[in-house]
Amino acid sequence: MTEKLATLWPEIILFTCACVVMLLGLSERLGVRRLCAPVSAAGLLIAGLFAFYKTPVDPAAMLPNLPVFGKVLAAGIGLLILGLLTGIPDRDYEARVAQGRTRFDPKRTIRSEFYAFFLFSITGLMLCAGATNLIWLFLALELTSLPTYVMVALSTQRDKSLEAAVKYFFLGAMAAAVFLFGFVLLYGATGSVELAQIGATLRHQASVEGGINPIALAGLVLGILGLCFKIAAVPMHFYTPDVYQGAASPVAGMLAFVPKAAGFFALMLLLTAPGWGWMQPGGPGGGHGSLPTPIGEILAIIAVASMTLGNVLAIMQTSVKRLLAYSSIAHSGYMLVALLAGPGRPGTLLPENGYSAILFYLLSYGLTSTAAFAVLALLERKGPDGQVHEADDFADIRGLRKKHPALAWVLALSALGLMGFPPLLGFFAKLPLFASGLAGGHLVLVVILGLNSAVAAFYYLRIVSAALLESPDASGHAEGMVQTPFRGRALAGYVGVLAMVAMVVLPLLSAGSFLHVTPASWASFGGTYKDAAPLAIAPRLPSPAKPMGAAPTGEGPMSEDAPARP
């Protein structure tokens, strides 16, 4: 019990911090109210450092290294998104208070709730990474989502964001009910809520009955479908463009990362339970092989549909926010290819391990998409009706280089990064997706992934050319754009792009050959925990006496992994 608590320090710190922030924002004094954002940042920073240096690797977990990396990722990208969110709550209200037109009334402010809810959501994401059983996973997913519904509703004063919140909430609640039903069927089929125990029971049942238990199968399918909402993949993707457009750009930037990461953590944990290796003659067991047949097929269909639909619909958009929303659907499709490939043989490293590929891609996607949304959040213009409009349309960013050269470059670089243009981080993140897909034997999927990346280049290059090459059009929208006065947003944009470039350049200088880039940059992550190889996100399967035979496989890590072999 206490060992488990020791792995939860980052969450405890963030939760405490959220409670403090909730009180700070209600203060009569402006100086104290202003502390909300810095205190949240400090909380995230301390939680991240704790996760990085102090969190012990939980030996009972199925994916021992996932919690540590997941928490560091959540805190790091969370800091960037926090910068992005500054300036949203109470902007008009504080202006009126400052002009003396109204008196400060704690009941009418949303500042404390807004930052606290953001921290709650990040706490949920961290808990998701560390989940070991179904109840925990369900609660963590809900803790991630519930605050985001409120944040969407609060993000602007207009009806649009309320409407976006209604759509987001109802589809989200439906998706939660669906994956919850799936979890319950899994419990019904195996009689346990512990993920590791569920996996062991499923494999045992399969060895007796010669196939996966149909109730468990239905449960897994419903679980995957429900989680598709969180990662914005195809059958549950309808909300994405509407919600991204209706919410303020910073909140849309948050939605692009936080629920997606939570969904992928949950999918990894859920799929590790039955494990890979169902199609092999030896029956279910080890890490290498494929998922139970219908599950693998469903995931493949979802992956292809998400990639294709996301990219094709993104081409047709005139709103940059909707475009980024469709591209977020496509990115989920890319990552599902690696998910399908699975963790590979025990101990395989990055190019072949689909799980590490997903985690690295999440890092890269978080940095680049946050930077892209930061540029949109930094630009606004006063409309003829006196209302402030955020940058949204292509007309708003056309010829951006004339007035805001730095922002234009940030936008162009992040678009190139999302596209996976060779020297940028997105490219090195995409390579392992291809490699792990190939290693898992999904040639067709990898080809479709390649074709889709080419299609995606079309609309990402449209952003680049609009920002850098074209001149402003006659509507005058681009000339009217002014930069918002929030330094946090600018910081998020610049730091995101700089990190994206630095993470490539530094390992390139030290490692030389480019394929070592990703492992080298990861080794610094891996250096902090002692007992595990840097990239071994391979599952630790509690398999009852694998029928491996006497023949040693010749793989180094394998033999270390199973010391009890006769």
Site residues (CB under 8 A) for another protein? 134-135, 138-139, 142, 146, 149-150, 153, 159-160, 162-167, 169-170, 173-174, 176-177, 180-181, 184-185, 187-188, 191-193, 241-242, 245-246, 313, 322
Q: How many residues does the chain have?
A: 566
CB closer to another protein, 75 vs 171:
171
CB closer to another protein, 77 vs 193:
193
Which tokens go with 413? Answer: 């670089």
Which residues does 220 contact at the CB level (< 8 Å), separation at least 6? 182, 186, 270, 271, 274, 292, 295
- Give the DSSP H or E segment for 130: none
| Relative orientation angle of helices 9-24 and 111-129, to the nearest 10 degrees | 170
Q: Does residue 33 contact residue 24 with C-beta atoms inside 8 Å?
A: yes
CB closer to another protein, 134 vs 335:
134
| DSSP one-letter code for 69 | H
Cβ at position 153, least distance to another protein in Å: 5
Cβ at position 547, least distance to another protein in Å: 28
Can you tell me which residue has the tokens 């792990």? Answer: 436
Which residues does 378 contact at the CB level (< 8 Å), separation at least 6? 391, 407, 483, 484, 486, 489, 490, 493
CB closer to another protein, 77 vs 220:
220
Cβ at position 247, least distance to another protein in Å: 10
Q: Does residue 130 contact residue 10 with C-beta atoms inside 8 Å?
A: no
SS (H, E, C) 434-460: HHHHHHCCCHHHHHHHHHHHHHHHHHH
CB closer to another protein, 159 vs 386:
159
* Exposed / middle / buried, residue 28 (Cβ in 10 Å: 0-12, 13-18, 19+): exposed
CB closer to another protein, 176 vs 424:
176
CB closer to another protein, 67 vs 182:
182
Where does 266-394 show beta strands of DSSP type E?
A: 379-382, 388-390
Cβ at position 147, least distance to another protein in Å: 9
CB closer to another protein, 145 vs 518:
145
CB closer to another protein, 163 vs 393:
163
Cβ at position 447, least distance to another protein in Å: 29
Cβ at position 311, least distance to another protein in Å: 15
Cβ at position 367, least distance to another protein in Å: 28
Cβ at position 133, least distance to another protein in Å: 8
| DSSP one-letter code for 537 | -
Cβ at position 178, least distance to another protein in Å: 8
| DSSP one-letter code for 559 | H
Degrees, nearest 5: CA angle 50-52-57: 95
